Amino acid sequence: MPANPNRSSSSSQFPRLGVRDACYKFNLADFASYVGRRDAFLQGGLQARVALRMGGIVGRLARQVLSSPLGIEGPSQEAARGDGLLIRCNDQDFAEDLLTDRDLDMICGTYELESPGKGHQKSLVSWFPRPDIWFASGYSVGQWTNECELWFQNRVKDIQDGAVPYSQKIWRVKLRQTRQAPKLVHHMNKAASAFIKKHL
């Protein structure tokens, strides 16, 4: 399964947590509101199970609500019928449910900022990095490590101390660990794929 199994949504330009003015000052009440809405959303079931299987920062946020064993439950009937990710390996078809961009917006705590004036320029900020940024960072090594957990706990503490949602550009900078990690994961995935094709 790809590291970032999600599909676009026709309404993905409207993040789940809404629109704020570019000058808006985020606070702990905003974070608490996000956590409440995120947890209620994930308690719906299917999205939380998909998020757990996705791993990375999305999987860690899902574990705030559900236990990891729920992630091993199989895909939904809709995915099995083709409304999801289909993978063919050694003449066998495998199906997986997908998260929409709006699902990921909710899980990661994404807002749209709108700048007044000509053009109404818009940008996205989020309490936690979106999965494409996380999986491209040095923290993504194929599993949730102690270093990842330390980063997560520090991020929550920083928010409690006044940190705000970051733009995607800032998240890329803040998650810039060693650039060798993504290459290592790529080689690990290639080796795993070769092993599966040989032995299954």
In a domain, 51, yes or no: yes
Q: What Å distances lie between residue 180 and 104, 141, 145, 152, CA to CA?
A: 26, 10, 16, 21
Residues 8 and 18: their CA atoms lie apart, in Å, by 18
Contact 13, 105 (CB under 8 A): no
pLDDT at 72: 56
pLDDT at 114: 86
In a domain, 118, yes or no: yes
In a domain, 136, yes or no: yes
Residues in the chain where the model's pLDDT stays below 70: 1-15, 67-97, 117-120, 177-200
In a domain, 17, yes or no: yes
pLDDT in tens, 60-69: 999 988 865 5
Containing structural domain, residue 147 = 6-199
Structure-block tokens of residue 14 = 């409207």
Please choose, from the candidates 7, 40, 38, 44, the residue with its C-alpha nearest in 3D space to the C-alpha of residue 111: 38
In a domain, 189, yes or no: yes
How many structural domains are present in the chain?
1
In a domain, 109, yes or no: yes
pLDDT at 169: 94
pTM to 2 decimal places: 0.74
pLDDT at 3: 46
In a domain, 1, yes or no: no
Q: What is the sign of the dihedral through the CA atoms of 133, 142, 194 and 200?
A: negative
